[in-house]
Structure 1
Amino acid sequence: MSKLVIGVTGGIGSGKTAVTDYFSSLGITVVDADQASRVVVEPGRPALVKIAERHGPDILTDEDTLDRRKLRDIVFNNDSERVWLEQLLHPLIRDQIVQELEASSSPYTIMVSPLLVETDQHVLTNRILVVDVPEEVQLERTMSRDGMSKEQTQSIMAKQASRNQRLEKADEVVDNSRSLDHLFQQLDRIHQTYLGLANT
């Protein structure tokens, strides 16, 4: 396992994927909490069985996979269902993340999570890199990318940490409101910093 773990976070639509894809292209292992959350509800996994027991077979697709949109609609409108789901999934997601971190052999490891500062996932990291954009940019990008309404997007943003809360936790910040070239220039410098830290 790399001894240096960098937590990458940012609000919805901030461009975390562009950041982690770039680190990956430099040979750095990326552990994705969103991907881990999909793994723990794959067919045959205990979590999917429990979700289907609670919400009935309609929560599954024809291929017996989780219908994520239906589940999102349920928890979007019901706080008690959201809490139940979080209590089921968060420990499983954490275990999956830890396994993937331990398997990493790159000089340092990136762990990306939209809820890094809202959950205890940040304790798995040594430093936090925040991908920062103005909130109006988040709104525009998310609505055009995911086809969500303004209200849905704002509701998701309201459940995440505020921009200021994330920035207060940051060890490093990248501005992703401009071009990809501008983003990559910042990431090149940060990569060198992390390599230096990994070698100390």
Structure 2
Amino acid sequence: MELSLLIIFWYGVLHAMGPDHLTAIADFSIGKNLRKTMMVTLLFALGHGITLFLFAKLLQSIPGIQAYTDYGDVISASVILLMGMYLLYMALSDRILLNKHTHDGQEHIHISFSRTHQHRWTDMMPALSLGVLMGIGGVRGMLVTLGLVSHQEVTFGMVALFALGVMLVFISFGGVILWLNRYWLNSLANVRRVFGALGLSSIAVGAQMLWF
């Protein structure tokens, strides 16, 4: 049983390392501070884990519902593709602004796309939504793995271990994005380079998900 749980956890790690997941996290966390970067990764992982558990239960109890999981792949791929186009547009236009200001006695550079500076928590909700949608598509692979290591009903503990592996990778990658935000995105030229590279990567990943 211990080996089965380890396999489930390891599959969660491998699943999270897919380019579609990492690209989605990068799209929504680039240019944000520590708190928002971590919140984006946690919300994405939370949405992913909850959806995986719920759809695993539905797939086991309702015949024919598996066909609908394809829509999650299509929608999430479309969002990644559109985000890539948006980031590329921002990199090539003059809409990116760098604002140096102080919060709680600490000066930092804030990346914005308008003259009005705002901190809105609602900006992070798309990360939760995309995590939910991508969880719908990813549930099939998780069920295959669970079927290989266990012939019993999918339990919350199994999905929790899978989600833990996913969250480990997401938070680690969020740390990489945070490093970029702090030490690389300190000039407009660097911001445009990173946004452009990320935009092209997102377009490539989204297109690959849609057409292959």
TM-score range, shorter chain: under 0.3
Higher helix share: 2
Higher strand share: 1
Kindly indicate whether structure 1 or structure 2 has the higher relative contact order, using CA contacts under 8 Å at least 6 residues apart.
Answer: 2
* TM-score normalised over the length of structure 1: 0.27
Query: Larger Rg: 1 or 2?
Result: 2
* TM-score normalised over the length of structure 2: 0.26
